């Protein structure tokens, strides 16, 4: 398990006056334990949990089908195992909390994840427990990444960036979106990703659609192609989006893309510690509007074990940027008014005096060409 993450969770737990915090969602379990329990996100009833007490003790809950995987990943951890057939996860969790001496204390729980039925089962098995919503606590803890988390996200960013570039280079007019998808997935796995969370392949008029997967559509000369993929390692993901054109770009495409490049550099210059996130967005929107681009409600967001995390670079979020935050920034136009959409999405980490570009494989100042 990551020692720095456990120390962060311990500090937040203690500061909140809690005896312990229980991580329950697949994302937060991966954050705390340092690896993703494979089937937890596939079958919601296959509960796993990672518990950190205010005095720094840790323990793990898992289903019997995942016991070997968990013990291999955490050979020295205390592990409580519940049988999927004939057992009850919440009863076993209550027993684990009793073993840790916190079953009659205030304990932080991810109440936005735990179902009403499971919440009732937990209280029935641990009637002295005082559950406290810990979702905000865990969200705050995750925002400032450790050095190891940042390097993992940098690796994932380059995997995504390189995979998109290789996919663009592998196709030409007449290829299909499925061909792009095949090249993308092959590349992310060849580079060491364990899986991918989301893949967007949108070409021609489909490039106006925000989150679509690949279709059988064939590429033709002049098509704008918007491609994004989120490779995953240990529950973490990075999202990088690149835009290309097949052969010569259609009218207005170069101008719109140059505007996005200008906005990208504007945002990168604004990203530094102490700057309110809403200020970054306002600076972006002022130029975006002056360029005559259609309005958009944000230009970036935190990312890590979730695709979208706080802070958001939007009008309503006044959070101040801090070193260690990792963001996906994405100047984009879905509806350009000319039958295509364009996007540049990069991963950046806030440093002591500015920001570091993590997705640094592709020169996005230039619109990528696909062979016609």
212 and 168 fall within a common domain = yes
327 and 223 fall within a common domain = yes
The single-letter DSSP state of residue 299 is: E
105 and 227 fall within a common domain = no
23 and 100 fall within a common domain = yes
Judge whether residue 270 has pLDDT over 90. Answer: yes
Could you report the per-residue pLDDT of 47-69, keeping only the tens digit for each?
999 999 999 999 999 999 999 99
320 and 202 fall within a common domain = yes
**Domain assignment of residue 291, given as a range:** 147-370
204 conformational bin, left if phi > 0, alpha if psi -120 to 50, beta if neither: left
Cβ–Cβ under 8 Å, residues 19 and 106: yes
Query: pTM for this structure?
Result: 0.95
37 conformational bin, left if phi > 0, alpha if psi -120 to 50, beta if neither: beta
CA distance 369 to 372: 9
Cβ within 8 Å of residue 129, ≥6 positions away: 94, 97, 103, 104, 105, 107, 122, 123
CA distance 54 to 248: 61
CA distance 312 to 365: 24
Could you report the per-residue pLDDT of 314-325, keeping only the tens digit for each?
988 889 999 999
Q: What mean pLDDT is predicted for residues 193-206?
A: 96
3-state SS class at 185: helix
Query: Could you tell me the CATH number of the domain that includes residue 30?
Result: 3.40.350.10
Q: pLDDT class for 293, splitting at 50, 70, 90? A: confident
Last residue of a domain, one of 127, 143, 159: 143
Query: Could you tell me the CATH number of the domain that includes residue 255?
Result: 3.90.230.10
Q: pLDDT class for 163, splitting at 50, 70, 90? A: very high
Could you report the per-residue pLDDT of 219-269, keeping only the tens digit for each?
999 999 999 999 999 999 999 999 999 999 998 999 999 999 999 999 999
Neighbours of 286 (CB within 10 A): 11
190 and 114 fall within a common domain = no
Could you report the per-residue pLDDT of 116-142, keeping only the tens digit for each?
999 999 999 999 999 999 999 999 999
86 and 127 fall within a common domain = yes
191 and 293 fall within a common domain = yes
The CA-CA-CA angle for residues 336, 337, 338, to 5°, reads 90
What is the number of domains present in the chain? 2
Encoding tokens for residue 156?
């994932």
Last residue of a domain, one of 116, 143, 170: 143
The CA-atom distances, in angstroms, between 180 and each of 17, 81, 208, 276 are 51, 42, 18, 38
342 and 232 fall within a common domain = yes
256 and 352 fall within a common domain = yes
Cβ within 8 Å of residue 83, ≥6 positions away: 63, 64
Last residue of a domain, one of 143, 178, 213: 143
Q: H or E segment at 348?
A: strand 346-350
217 and 284 fall within a common domain = yes
251 and 333 fall within a common domain = yes
Q: What percent of the chain has pLDDT over 90?
A: 94
CA distance 28 to 15: 19
Cβ within 8 Å of residue 175, ≥6 positions away: 218, 219
């Amino acid at each position: 398990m990551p020692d720095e993450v456990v120390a962060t969770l311990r500090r937040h737990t203690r500061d909140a006056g809690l005896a312990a915090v229980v991580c329950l969602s697949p994302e937060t379990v991966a954050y705390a334990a340092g690896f993703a329990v494979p089937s937890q996100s596939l079958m919601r009833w296959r509960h796993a949990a990672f518990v950190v007490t205010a005095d720094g003790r840790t323990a793990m809950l898992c289903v019997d089908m995942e016991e070997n995987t968990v013990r291999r990943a955490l050979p020295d951890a205390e592990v409580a195992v519940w049988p999927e057939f004939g057992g009850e996860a919440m009863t076993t969790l209550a027993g684990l909390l009793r073993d840790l001496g916190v079953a009659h204390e205030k304990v932080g729980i991810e109440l936005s994840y735990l179902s009403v039925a499971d919440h009732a089962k937990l209280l029935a098995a641990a009637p002295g427990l005082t559950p406290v919503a810990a979702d905000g606590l865990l969200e705050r803890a995750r925002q400032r990444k450790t050095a190891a988390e940042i390097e993992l996200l940098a690796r994932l960013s380059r995997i995504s960036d390189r995979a998109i570039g290789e996919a663009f280079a592998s196709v030409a007019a007449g290829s299909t979106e499925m061909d792009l998808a095949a090249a993308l997935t092959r590349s992310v796995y060849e580079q060491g990703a364990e899986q991918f969370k989301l893949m967007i392949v949108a070409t021609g008029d489909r490039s106006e659609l925000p989150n679509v997967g690949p279709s059988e559509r064939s590429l033709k000369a002049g098509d704008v192609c918007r491609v994004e993929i989120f490779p995953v390692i240990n529950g973490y993901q990075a999202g990088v989006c690149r835009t290309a054109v097949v052969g010569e770009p259609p009218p207005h495409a170069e101008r719109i893309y140059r505007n996005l490049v200008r906005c990208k550099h504007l945002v990168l210059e604004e990203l530094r510690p102490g700057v309110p996130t809403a200020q970054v967005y306002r600076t972006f929107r002022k130029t975006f509007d002056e360029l005559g681009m259609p309005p958009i409600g944000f230009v970036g967001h935190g990312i890590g074990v979730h695709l979208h995390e706080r802070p958001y670079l939007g009008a309503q979020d006044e959070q101040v940027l801090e070193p260690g935050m990792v963001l996906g920034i994405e100047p984009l136009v879905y509806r350009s008014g000319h039958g295509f959409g364009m996007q540049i999405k990069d991963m950046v980490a806030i440093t002591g005096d500015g920001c570091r570009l993590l997705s640094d494989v592709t020169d996005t100042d230039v619109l990528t060409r696909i062979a016609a």
